[in-house]
Structure 1
């Protein structure tokens, strides 16, 4: 606690001081101290030789301040110690970054009014006796404002001082409706200063913010671009009533409306040709009413942007189609071709026609190759022996079904043959044995990739190291080898596994009880020991000769 003349006994405030005034205790030039150490170094260099004060207009004691630099906490102003070495006592109420906002408002308003040829006077307490820093009264010969920075003083409307409300000052809906708008103010920190921004709040509209330089002084008082729009909209003459049977449009206006409708239709139907035709005609139409001319200009700009976007998308579509044709990807070609024909229904360039024809030809060739492949598989199945290997039959019928699915429409005769082979496999398999119902893996999945090409293919004649050729498409290679090329490798591996397999106990004749192979010994406790040893001996001999 300490004694202060004029205020009596005050308690010391330990909060950090972030604002001060420059040069003297009565100064109206505010400063905000940066909180970061590196910024404080720049601040000190900039104001080298200047003095900082706990200004009386800030509610301070009028004492001189110094700057405190910290790296582990916020930098701040601080009082010089008292002569007796004790901490200085100051009863300043506000010490944060916004504690000098009323002085920043004064500086910004003075500069702004001076730019409009006006000189103003400022009062920081007002006739209402507000706390220092709550309101700022600004008066000049042609007007007056009262800036409410907080809720300490309620705004009064229509008393000669136009209120400008801070962000925390509420305003009721009826006032917004009655006055059309109210002014708002906020201060944003920029470096070591605070920048004033003026907002316009209207009923059912968001607040629009402007720099003070964008505002003007009119007979209505403070005016922003938003205020001008609101006043213009409220002051506009009522539209003329429409009388049935009377058409006031000129021929040019009627044509302009037709063009607007055509452009809208072109965009909805994605017709680039129609949109280009309309956009060429719009600039040539003269004598249109000003309001319709604005609509035409806006529609023309939007239409040209849309055309450019659609042309780019169309160019990409045909490029993708051409690439799919080169890669012979039937599914992708079919999908893109459908979109390409839709895009080219109104107009089609020679290059686009060439791509479409190439896509049609590609699909025709692929369909013919698939049909030929189906016929080849049917012929191969017809040449099988009456009692073919079941695994081979399943593999070939599986290929037949896949080829029939890829060929699409194959006709009733071939469809009947495909179904017959499907039924034959189903009936030939008979009752499923344990493990028989599992799908056999494809042969190329049973052989490591590095061994695929180590042998000559007996089906297509591909030499060692060469990929197998597609049967129905000369010059094209298969992604996986023919089964005939891989089956010998699998058979050899199975034979090697069979030769390396050890003898099982019940595969030899028991020396003790004389039981034949596959017959169990007569003992209840399992095979005789001599039979086990004999099986081991056979296994050792087998390994020695392998």
Structure 2
């Protein structure tokens, strides 16, 4: 999934610099190449390259929402989940009766299989071997199926960042749907199993026959006592507006016998009032689901949340197929809105950090400009220690400013780093013993004016015979008291080179004499007391 914010898309492009993107055929696309579109005033997105005639390309893909690739996420998650359990699945996007691709995902493996219905395009088949149905959030299931099968499995996909995570739910009659991560589920002899399945099976299994005799059988309370208990339950059910409990109590009252007189009349009156109340609740229920459907059509998020909470509290049982579809669609919409709200908060946080970093970079860029002006004004006249301190601060500010430092400023920073001898070892030059501990002279003090005034300054463009000026690169401005570093350094470099050549060139007494055989360091035994000519020539040849 392509990031929606420009700052995130920049990182996405760098990460996928050598990748290409194509309109997926498994998404209903055309298969042609895509490019990324970066916007700052709206969300970023993929787009097709223009056609040969320059007009926009027309693609047949219609579904572009966050759930349009759920079948691909289901395939990936199912393959990884089954491989971890030693199974090698064959996963296929089947299209019975030409339904859109992605409506049904068939997962087949040895000794079993699942058929995932992500929408209502294909009716689930419950008794087909090797195709246990797993229903999407919008696929309805009737009450009889829940009762006969004890439970059914559902699937939903939740957005996490730029991915979708699969969750499996177990729905049973008169129970809330329980949701689990795919890793918590297993394949058993019964088929797909979640932690809720074991509890449901245990609750529905037949209890073992007691070993006690008939004389130990539990005594049944008298009819009068049971009637009074049912009256109290019916009153409580109406008071808390539980139509499900009220319907159960009414069935128990209808099956109650051996009640006569005033108590029977009380039961009949209470049952009549409860039935009238249930009829009114049916009307209220229909109106409630009608309002929820209208709110979904109007995309009124606030009203959808309120009505869904009311529906789950008062009409969670015995829902029709239409009511299940409306409730599941509303639940999915609320979850999507909540996820969008979280993503919006995250995007705002990212944008805030980006603004803070941009402001910090602008402050650092202003600091770079100030420090360069300060160093230019001071030149080499100040303390070397203070100059190095300012140059180091300049380097830190330039690092924080990043791309806001232009090429000219980068060049000036490089010059000041060299002048402050930061980033390279100091030149090793021999100094007299008497000078040890003495402060090192500034560069302009090491070269007399009569030498550097003959040269043109490469920094301020001052011609030979003229002093340097303050405004670099322009040749104008106030005359500087000292020459620029760039005017002095070539002279010092030439002097260092000559010194190095003299140091490397051997003298006559650095080699053995070929005439008298004296070793290096000893004088020749010539009659005149001087050095033999052959020794001088050999020393000259060695120095070339």
Q: TM-score range by the shorter chain?
A: 0.3 to 0.5
Q: TM-score, normalization: structure 1?
A: 0.38
Q: TM-score, normalization: structure 2?
A: 0.38
**Does 1 or 2 have the higher relative contact order (CA < 8 Å, sep 6+)?**
2
Q: Which is higher, the Rg of structure 1 or of structure 2?
A: 1
Name the one with the larger helix percent: 2
